[in-house]
Amino acid sequence: MSTVESLSGILPTDVMLKILACLPARSLVRFRRVSKPWRSLLSDPFFVTMWMNRSGTTLLVVPLEWGNRDQCCLVYENVYIGMKTMKLPFGNRWFSLSVVGSSGDGALICLTGLSYSRRHESKQAVILWSPYTGEIKALGNDGFVQCRRWPVCTQSLVQGDNTACCHRYAVHGFGYEPNARDYKVVRITYWYGDAAGQVYTLTRPWHVEVYSLGRDAWKSLGRPNFTATVRGNSRAFVNGSAHWLAAPCASVTYNSIVAFNMEDESFGEFIGLPRSGDLAQYCLFPRGKATLSVSRGHLALIAFHECNRGECGVWVMKEYGVAESWTKQHRIVLPVGSAAVQAVLGLTGRGKMLLRMADEKLVCCDAEDMQISEVGIQGGGRDSSFDVIDLEGADPTLGNQAGGSSTLTIPNLE
């Protein structure tokens, strides 16, 4: 009689699964090696989903140091697991990485990478990575990122900080289309037009492309039907669409939201922001660190106070696409003496806000009880900044540690 059968005679199956779902990943790895029945039980999709929902948030942080670019870090909210490093299969080809998005189970992660080309110009690639299989796919870009800084202003490109130094750049969005069972990447290329050979005019979107993993090809959509300026990769994939804060031009405040629908492969109507009265005390200028995120499946806006950068508000759109449904969910005040906020990296699935501080520390702020905690990650300076994404409880190393492929795989594409 197997161990599973022995326990089943003592405990009901549903009770046994609930107990196992509370265990950390390292214990599950050991239990998977006990016997084939145990491995089958712990690999069942129902159990894996239950475990992810109970195990807490998993944060993927890339890269930790500029000089050690092949290392990333996994941070687990579950105190029994803690934090561990993980080797990236990219080598040192890209000097700057940014996470665009991830599948819900962490089986497929989309990043962008910058590689130095020549002074003031860098090549940018979209990188698809499956941590479970170790496979990567780099999707190149024929164009260049052009920046007056050397080699490139990664802060402006990745976090949306509008320094007005980038003459040509691209922003990206990543999402899953369930009807076609397909992952897609959208890329919007921007550049400054040269007026009279001397003065750069307002930033305009020049070209839109969509990559389909199912087709394994980019498709050009031409020039978009709007002239708004957006910055940074989309951190808000909601309702089948990637979203960006938008401004009429590069030097004014954000006043709306641009959304790209992955199924239709088109831009929808602009989405309005919360009423101006609600935002009167908050800064929506691109340098003010305002950003979009996702809060428990809803579109969320994070904006910092106009005068006090230690105070921010979080608004949630209760009914998608309806501007009147914006509701101020939280008002967060950082402790006096805290380092200035360098960038908002979004919200975790459990409502915690991730902040990269001016001293290059990663800070997690609980929006419910206002508790501020350092994650334990320290960047090495402006040129070695990191990016973070919430993998919603998935553990990309579980399959590899157990000596076999994980059930959390990329769906078969038909």
| Segment 28-81, tens digit of pLDDT | 767 777 778 777 777 776 776 666 555 566 788 887 666 677 778 887 665 444
| pLDDT per residue as tens digits for the range 304-335 | 888 877 888 999 999 999 999 999 988 888 87
| pLDDT per residue as tens digits for the range 113-147 | 877 777 667 778 899 988 777 788 888 776 667 77
CATH pick for 56-401 out of 3.40.50.150, 2.120.10.80, 3.40.50.300, 3.30.930.10:
2.120.10.80
Answer yes or no: are the C-beta atoms of 246 and 257 closer than 8 Å. yes
Query: Shortest CA distance to 240 belongs to which of 326, 178, 317?
Result: 178
* AA identity, residue 207: H
User: How many CB atoms neighbour CB 224 within 10 A?
Assistant: 17
Answer yes or no: are the C-beta atoms of 354 and 388 closer than 8 Å. yes
Burial code (b: 16+ CB inside 10 Å, e: under 16) for 342-360 equals: bbbbbbbbebbbbbbbeeb
Q: What's the pTM?
A: 0.79
CA distance 400 to 275: 49
Q: How far is CA 410 from the centre of its chain?
A: 18
Domain spans, the chain: 1-55, 56-401
Answer yes or no: are the C-beta atoms of 229 and 250 closer than 8 Å. yes
